[in-house]
Amino acid sequence: MKTSEKTEAAAVTVEKNPNRPVITLDTPIVRGSTEITEVTLRKPVSGELRGVTLTDLLQMDVLALRKVLPRITTPTLNDHEIGNMDPADLVQMATEVAGFLLPKSAKVDASLVA
């Protein structure tokens, strides 16, 4: 493979996965000597929603989010970190979680699908 071909291959953009959005935090989370600036969310499976009602998640209830987010974040955020999170960052994550619960047809109707 020639150098120009390698450069072109590296320039290919990776398609975003709607089931694994990356959230860039407005206020990084400090964990020891590490600073977390981005968090990847994963679409939860039904078992990861145990202990919360779906309506609470759709309403972006903080207590429901504090139960679910540690189960679906990478790096895994703990309850304390979520409790101390910038509200703007929590709203970004809550919006994605609520979007995970909608059927594809509702996302298309609401223009939530890219």
The ranges assigned to domains in the chain are: 18-109
What was the pLDDT predicted at 10?
Answer: 46
Q: According to DSSP H, which parts of 1-114 are helical? A: 3-11, 54-58, 62-72, 79-83, 87-100, 104-109
pTM: 0.79
Which residues are CB-neighbours of 76 under 8 A, at least 6 positions away?
70
Q: Rounded distance, CA 14 to CA 5, Å?
A: 17
pLDDT tens digit string along 65-90? 999 999 999 999 999 999 999 999 99
pLDDT tens digit string along 4-61? 444 454 444 456 787 899 999 999 999 999 999 999 999 999 999 999 999 999 999 9
Q: Rounded distance, CA 41 to CA 99, Å?
A: 12
What was the pLDDT predicted at 11?
Answer: 46
For residue 22, give the H/E element and its range. Answer: strand 22-31
